[in-house]
Each structure stands twice: as C-alpha cells, then as structure tokens.
A and B are shown apart, each in its own frame.
Chain A
C-alpha cells in the first residue's frame, strides 16, 4: 500500500485568506488527484495533477481558486484561495497504484469562518 502524508489535518481559517494543503507520497506516482467532500456529501474531483505539466481541472473548478503544484513525482500541493464559508469541506489527495489500488491521504478538514 502507498503511504500518503497529508497536512494539515484540520484548520480553521478566516474568510478571504488562503490555505495550502500538502501531500507527500512514499513512492513515485504519475498521477495525483485532489478531491473535495462538502459536509454530508460525497467526494468530487477537483483536479488531476501531473508532474511537469499544468493540472487538469474538472468542471466547476478553476485554477485561480484552487491552484495546484506538482514539483516532483512524490509531492503536490492544493491551495484554496480567497476562502469563503462555502469552502468548508474535507479536502483529500489520492494516488493510484498498480491499477488495482487507489489510496487517500488522511484528509484536511477545513472550516472557514
């Protein structure tokens, strides 16, 4: 199994500020995925992060709001910019391994006040 270290595990932020979430994987992976889980809802993909290229965003998500970095094959960051209370969610990173497994980080529980 892949070990994914995600931090912070939780944060309470003021509206209008930004938060950067980090994910570190214990092995090299081609693709990293960022998901959002709004309260009481299922997971929705924000974007797919490739090393060396710009992230691919899903419909409804834009780079200005959720900039992503992928500097190498073991690390990625997601920034939630200019936050509002509607951004309060759990944010999770994920990697796919050997085609038969997909693992998640521990999640970041964000509350915007």
Chain B
C-alpha cells in the first residue's frame, strides 16, 4: 500500500524568503507520480507541480520546484521568494500508475498536509 508522510504540521516563513515543505513516500511500485497541491481557505485544490518516477530532472514551475530524491523516497516542495498569497495548506500526493487500454491513470493518495504561513 502506498503511504505519504508530511511531518511538518505547520511552517512559517518571512515574505521573500524560500521555504521547503517536506514529503516522504513509501511504495513498492516502480512507476508512480508525485504531486503537490495548494489549498487556500476557500477549499479548492490548486495543482502546483508534478514529478514522475522516471523523470531524470527535478520538476520546476515558476517559483515552485520539487527536490526529488528517489533513493530516499522524498519529494520536497521548494517555494522561492514567498509571497503573502502563498499562505495556505499544502498537500503532497502520490498516484499509482498503470495502464488500461493504453491510458495511464490512477487515484491519488494524500499526505496530511502542511499549513504554510507567510509573514510580512
């Protein structure tokens, strides 16, 4: 069974500083995907970044980057130049990959989340 662990219930960062949100995972699958989402108080889930298990380079999307260390089974999210609007809950998730008729798909398993607060 897949398991996702986020050990930081809450994190604080000063505006314009960088922050790292930790995520470790456990799976016996060789093919899997790792996701990060932002959930503001409105409750919507905003997709931030994706890393495939076979991707050779760490994923980057604007101010977001994913520090993927496959041997250590970690997929930490790095937010650079934090903004006040980054204050939210952040979830790490893992998707199991398999094929049916040539299409890869799968459900997501989520960590417990980290509440990030950005101070001015």
- Chain A residues with a Cβ under 8 A of chain B: 1, 30-31, 33, 35, 37, 41-45, 48, 90, 92, 94, 96, 99-104, 106-107, 109
Contact = CB atoms under 8 A, between A and B. Distances in A.
Nearest to A96: B105
Nearest to B92: A42
Contact of A102 (B44, B47, B112): B47
Contacts, number: 61
Given A42-B91, A45-B109, 5 more contacts: A42-B112, A45-B107, A96-B105, A101-B50, A102-B50
A102 B50 CA distance: 9
Interface of B: 33, 35, 37, 42-45, 47, 50, 52, 91, 93, 95, 97, 100, 103-113
A99 B104 contact: yes
Contact of B47 (A37, A43, A48, A101): A101
A40 to B, nearest CB: 9
B52 A106 contact: no
